């Protein structure tokens, strides 16, 4: 039972025809070739597939595409593409917060959503709470914490100069 589903991905309208019970992750990766979002556990445990639906972080492996009809989806590609990087992406590079990089897009999405909600430099504890749903096996997270702080500082600086 195929169906046409309309939604917005990274600010562009999108129409796909597929089974409405296909996961959003599979639609992004297979139908739209947006492969930044990864499948790692398929159970909502690791956050590698994190995307924003109406600015809320969700695991796209747990969402069916029918559920995002007429909704607004942002993936890591929507946060920024080379060479026009978002502050959070620049900061990840500067602080060395990516290693193998497989979890990185999901973490960028979660961090971006978190930073959208704060207008100060968050504490380590706040960052740990916000990013608690994203697993990384390479970095030990220290540089991820630092990168989020650095990005918050950049955001504030930019606001100050506006």
Partner 1 sequence: MEKNNTEALNWVGKRVKRIDGPEKVTGELKYMTDYQFDNMLWGKVLRAKYPHAKIKSINTKKAEQLSGVVTVLTHQDIPGFNGFGIVIPDQPVLCSKVVRCTADAIALVAAETLEIAEQALELIEVDYELLEVISDAEKAMLPTALNLHPDGNIHSHVKIKNGEVDQAFQEADIIVENTYYSPRQMHAFIETEGGWGVMDEEGFITIRCPGQYAYRDRMQIARALAYNPERIRVISSPIGGAFGGKDEITVQIYLALLAMHTNGRPVKIHYSREESVIAGIKRHPFKVYMKTAAKKDGTLLANEVRAVADTGAYASLGGEVIALAIEHSCGPYKIPNVNLEGFCVYTNNGIAGAFRGFGVNQVCMGIETHLDMITEMLCIDPVEIRKKNVYHQGEISSLGHIVKTSVGTYKTLETAENCDLWKNREKYKADVSEPWKKRGVSLATSFHGIGMGVGLPDYGAASIELLPDGKFLVAVGCEEIGGGNGTVYAQVAAEILKCDISQIKVVQGDTSKTIDGGTVTASRSTYTGGRAVAAAAPNMLKLLTETAAEMLEVPASKVEVNPNRIAANGSCLTYQSIFDYLYQKRKQTRVEGHFFLPKEKKEIEGSGGAPHHIYGYLTHVVMVEVDTLTGETDVLRVVSIPDAGKVINPQGLEGQAEGGAVMGIGYTLFEDVLIEEGYHKTRNFTDYIIPTIRETPLIETFPVEEAEHSGPFGAKGIGEVVMIPIIPAIMSAIYDATGARIKHLPATPERVFNALKALKNENIQSAR
* Residue ranges binding partner 1 (CB under 8 A): 29-30, 33, 35-43, 45-46, 48, 75-77, 79-83, 85, 89-90, 92-94, 96, 98-105, 108, 127-129, 131-132, 134-145
Beta strands in the chain (DSSP E): 3-9, 12-18, 50-53, 56-59, 72-74
Question: How far, in Å, are 42, 54, 74, 158 from residue 77 at the CA level?
Answer: 21, 16, 8, 22
CB closer to partner 1, 15 vs 84: 84
CB closer to partner 1, 140 vs 158: 140
Per DSSP, what are the bridge partners of residue 74?
Answer: 52
CB closer to partner 1, 137 vs 157: 137
CB atoms within 10 A of CB 48: 25
Cα 139 from Cα 20, distance rounded (Å) = 37
Give min distance, CB of 54 to partner 1, in A: 20
CB closer to partner 1, 79 vs 152: 79
Cα 11 from Cα 123, distance rounded (Å) = 31
CA 99, distance to chain mean position in Å, is 17
Tokens of 96: 């060395």
Give min distance, CB of 63 to partner 1, in A: 18
Give min distance, CB of 14 to partner 1, in A: 17
Give min distance, CB of 86 to partner 1, in A: 9
Give min distance, CB of 73 to partner 1, in A: 14
CB closer to partner 1, 34 vs 63: 34
């Amino acid at each position: 039972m195929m169906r046409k589903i309309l939604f917005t991905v990274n600010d562009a309208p999108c129409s796909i025809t597929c089974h409405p019970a296909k996961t959003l992750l599979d639609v992004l990766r297979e139908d739209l070739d947006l492969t930044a979002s990864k499948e790692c556990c398929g159970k909502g445990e690791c956050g590698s597939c994190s995307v924003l639906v109406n600015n809320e972080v969700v695991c796209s492996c747990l969402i069916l595409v029918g559920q995002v009809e007429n909704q607004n989806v942002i993936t890591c590609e929507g946060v920024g593409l080379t060479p026009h990087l978002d502050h959070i992406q620049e900061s990840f590079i500067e602080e060395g917060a990516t290693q193998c990089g497989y979890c990185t897009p999901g973490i960028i999405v979660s961090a971006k959503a978190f930073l959208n909600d704060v207008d100060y430099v968050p504490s380590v504890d706040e960052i740990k709470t916000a990013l608690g749903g994203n697993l990384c096996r390479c970095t030990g997270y220290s540089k991820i914490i630092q990168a989020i702080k650095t990005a918050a500082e950049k955001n504030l600086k930019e606001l100050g100069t506006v």
